[in-house]
Amino acid sequence: MRAAFSHRERREAIERVAREPRQFDLCIVGGGVTGAAIARDAALRGWSVLLVEKNDFASGTSSRSSKLVHGGVRYLENYEFGLVAEATRERARLWKLAPQLVTPLAFLFPAYRDSRLPLWLLECGLWLYDALAAFRTPSLHRLYLRARTLREEPKLRADGLKGAIFYWDGMTDDALLTLANAIDAHEHGAVMLPRVSFTRAEWNAAVPTEASAAHTLHFRDELGGRDFTAQARLVVFATGPWSDEILPATPLKRRKLMAPTRGSHIVVPATKLPAKHAIVMTHPKDGRVLFTIPWDDMTIIGTTDLFDSESPDRVAATNEEVQYLLDASRHYFPDCPLTTGDVVSTWSGLRPLLAPPQDASEAEVSREHHIEWSAPGCLIIAGGKLTTHREMAEQAIERLYEETSHWARIPANAYSPTATDTRPLPVLAPRGESSEPRLGVSKGARLSLNDVRRICREEMVLTLEDLLVRRTHIFYKEPQNGWTLLEQLRPVLCEELGWDAAEWERQKAAYRAYLEKNILKPLARTLA
């Protein structure tokens, strides 16, 4: 059993930070996969680290991805060979270092008579893909002719089918991958504070020259409602699509960094859309690439890609996006005519993409990441991919070493190399392995109440939404998105999280609001 990481440790840590005049080497703002990986890397090198996340770990983009750990076959079309090589290298590393969280996923890329990319060209592309991955893949890609393709995926549209390319990429649980980074950082001494917002900073120009100088950072505890401060010599903003909102609080001169695009997904039961492989589709209306992805007893369809200037706090799928995704699936799987009524859940996120050249389309915007430094001690990191989070974190810390090498006092006093390239990620609490009675009917709810208890104690559950959306798949896979399981969960959650009857009602209302935004509105549905 691992060390406790729960609401109690969080409350005590806030009290300690607010009370003690401790100076951190590094404060990270943002607890998505980038921030959590930076905290882990720095803590493993012996730095003293504080991370604040205004919501839950991974509640931003890092739980709203397509959940693929992949090189990105389609980036080959934009000649982003460096990105593909980096991402496939990290993919192989994650298969090895986090086998419980990142597993190989078999793909089929079908080609039709009227496809923009003919079978022979796809095959060339996949040779390049395997080569850029230095052939670190469970097996090389294979070409299937029409008959074999239909044997493998009998529901796939047969009309005009020429064949398909079989290849491997990876699948993960993005929220738990982020959490595993956060837990490892915590176990190596980092102070990890979810539901604490960074509000402003007083930048101290003397930091580079005076060994005892530090910046003063202001925070708000979003649960306790209290404001407090901490001192740090370096600050990293890993705020994904929130980066432009945060820029005015930094010493950076830039005023715009991001051009986020919204990507939405829908989830349907695998009985309605059975697929053994992830299938690469091109949308019949606009030729965009999207996927169906098998996910236990469900199938994911996604994603859309639309420039979006809304605040990332408000992002949600729209009914038009749901219809667009259903159109693609009905085109590729004509014998599985899905309707809105088949959709169990949706999610939507903003890709933290870097502002593009003026005339670029959404799909052409680079998935590369960007690291920008500004004296006297601020670094902003944005863009990139879930897949490359470890390498991005390593580069961020190396950059901090570089920028501070002439300082009166550098973090942790000496250079030390990263440990994250060989160190396995921690294994999280097992889900659904005991023989005790299970909560719901879907695989996403194959949990006992004892599993829930352990998740609360070891994985920093602070709200009902944390548990149902990001620690388990109940929201995504269970009928009624788990709404009918709440009374079963109530005694355990109230006991573990110290909630009284009034707090339980508040939690239920907040989850209801989450369902309103992500299910009821986009699917034009009411809660039974």
Binding region for ligand FAD (CB under 6 A): 29-35, 52-55, 59-62, 64-68, 70, 197-198, 238-242, 246, 263, 303, 349-352, 384-387
CB of 82 to ligand FAD, least distance (A): 15
Rank residues 137 and 149 by Cβ distance to ligand FAD and give the closer one.
137
Rounded distance between C-alpha atoms, residue 322 and residue 303, angstroms: 10
What's the closest the beta carbon of residue 353 comes to ligand FAD, in angstroms?
A: 9
Tell which residue, 12, 24, 84, has the closest CA to residue 366.
84
- Give least dist CB 159 to ligand FAD, A: 29
Q: C-beta of 315: minimal distance to ligand FAD in Å? A: 9
What's the closest the beta carbon of residue 136 comes to ligand FAD, in angstroms?
A: 17
- The single-letter DSSP state of residue 466 is I
CB 33 within 8 A of CB 181: yes
Nearer to ligand FAD, 67 or 431 (CB): 67
What distance in Å separates the CA atoms of residue 328 and residue 77, rounded to the nearest whole number?
A: 21
What span, in angstroms and rounded, lies between the C-alpha atoms of 31 and 12? 19
Cβ closer to ligand FAD: 149 or 243? Answer: 243
d(CA 306, CA 348): 11
C-beta of 149 vs 239, nearer to ligand FAD = 239
Q: Which is nearer to ligand FAD, 86 or 403 (CB)?
A: 86
Query: Where does residue 70 rank: exposed (0-12), middle (13-18), buried (19+ CB within 10 A)?
Result: buried
- Asked whether the beta carbons of 398 and 41 are under 8 A apart, the reply is no
Q: How far is the CB of 194 from ligand FAD (least distance, A)?
A: 9
> Is the backbone peptide bond immediately before 479 cis, with ω within 30 degrees of 0?
no
Neighbours of 132 (CB within 10 A): 20
Using the minimum distance from each CB to ligand FAD, give the nearer residue, 57 or 407. Answer: 57
Alpha carbon distance 377, 23 (integer Å) = 14
Buried b (16+ CB within 10 A) or exposed e, 301-328: bbbbbbebeeebeebbbbeebbebbbeb
Which residue lies nearer to ligand FAD by CB, 295 or 407?
Answer: 295
- Asked whether 248 and 261 are in contact (CB, 8 A), the reply is no
Please state the closest distance from residue 240 (CB atom) to ligand FAD, in A.
2
| Beta carbon nearer to ligand FAD, 34 or 231 | 34
CA 69 and chain centroid, separation = 11
Q: How far is the CB of 308 from ligand FAD (least distance, A)?
A: 10
Interatomic CA distance for residues 402 and 423, integer angstroms: 24
Q: Tell me how far apart the alpha carbons of residues 134 and 15 are, in angstroms, rounded to a whole number.
A: 49
Q: Please write down the long-range contacts of 76-81, taking CB distance under 8 Å and 24 or more positions apart.
A: 76/125, 76/128, 76/129, 78/364, 78/366, 80/366, 80/367, 80/368, 81/128, 81/132
Nearer to ligand FAD, 265 or 454 (CB): 265
Q: What phi and psi, each to the nearest 5 degrees, are found at residue 337?
A: -75, 85
Residue nearer to ligand FAD on the CB measure, 212 or 254: 254
How many angstroms from the chain centroid is the CA of residue 290?
18
Residue type, 192: M
The least distance separating ligand FAD from the CB of residue 488, rounded to whole angstroms, comes to: 29
The interaxial angle of helices 389-404 and 33-44, nearest 10 deg, is 60
CB of 513 to ligand FAD, least distance (A): 17
The CB-of-263 to ligand FAD minimum distance in angstroms stands at 2
The nearer residue to ligand FAD, 351 or 457, going by C-beta atoms, is 351
Closer to ligand FAD by Cβ: residue 60 or 163: 60
Half-sphere exposure of residue 169, counting CA atoms within 13 Å on the CB side? 27
Q: Taking the complex as a whole, how short is the minimal distance between the CB of residue 101 and ligand FAD, in angstroms?
A: 13
**Min separation Cβ 201 and ligand FAD, Å:** 11
- CA dist 481 and 208 (Å) reads 51
Our CB check for ligand FAD shows the closer of 451 and 466 to be: 466
* Residues ≥6 apart with Cβ < 8 Å to 341: none
